[in-house]
Amino acid sequence: EPEVTQTPSHQVTQMGQEVILRCVPISNHLYFYWYRQILGQKVEFLVSFYNNEISEKSEIFDDQFSVERPDGSNFTLKIRSTKLEDSAMYFCASSLGSGQGTVNEKLFFGSGTQLSVL
Amino acid sequence: DAKTTQPPSMDCAEGRAANLPCNHSTISGNEYVYWYRQIHSQGPQYIIHGLKNNETNEMASLIITEDRKSSTLILPHATLRDTAVYYCIVRAYTTSGTYKYIFGTGTRLKVLA
């Protein structure tokens, strides 16, 4: 079965540094998402991306965050100046998506990048 | 956004059916109910989804009440490998023409030998 691939699996960084988390969504998917999960807490929506622009973003997704699809296969999440509270597991997800009436639409998740900010 | 409410934890004996309830009383008419599970800290895994009819696949069954305000995920013969956190999710259609999947706090299911 096709997979969403995330790299790296673990990332350690110093507070204030920039990090880029990388994802390769499933090849024919059109909608891309980032979620995060702080240890012991629920999975939280960050942002959705479609047609080369952000579709929706949560309150968490402030000016320190940005997303990009630099080519036809990668989808990245950048955190410009990391804070201690950014430490979390970050999940990328993708879906096929074809607008309204997509009865069988579902999200496929990657295995995550564990970000530790020291 | 429709919110979901689930019990924080449940136990189930191996081989028995696990029935996981979810309340989504603010769901709108065209919003689907999805169930995902997360084993340890792995990426959430899709289980099943539905709109108003009951659904069954190789993993589970989904029972949605007639008023659509609640649903139950049924794992017919739970195994130790079904120990996980189960999330009930309402898929909302947004003003930007995309979908948003909002996770609740989930139910931690422990299958006991």
CB contact under 8 A, B44 and A48: no
Cβ neighbours of residue A22 under 8 Å, at least 6 residues apart? A6, A7, A8, A74, A75, A76
- Residues B7-45 pLDDT 10s: 999 999 999 999 999 999 989 888 899 999 999 889 999
Which residues are within 8 A (CB) of A77 and not within 5 positions of it... i.e. 6 or more apart?
Answer: A20, A21, A23, A34, A46, A47, A65, A66, A67, A90, A92
End-to-end CA distance of chain B: 38
The whole-number mean pLDDT for each consecutive block of 10 residues of chain A, a chain of 118 residues, reads 92 97 93 94 92 92 94 93 97 80 80 97
Q: Does pLDDT of B53 surpass 90?
A: no
Average pLDDT estimate for B47-71: 94
Dihedral sign from CA coordinates of A95, A100, A104, A106: positive
* 8 Å CB contact of B103 and A99: no
Q: Which of the pair, B95 or B63, is modelled with greater confidence?
A: B63
| Nearest neighbour of B94 by CB, restricted to A55, A103, A114 | A55
Tell me the count of A-B CB pairs closer than 8 A: 67
Best mutation site among B9, B93, B101, B108 for testing chain A: the one with the most A CBs within 10 Å? B101
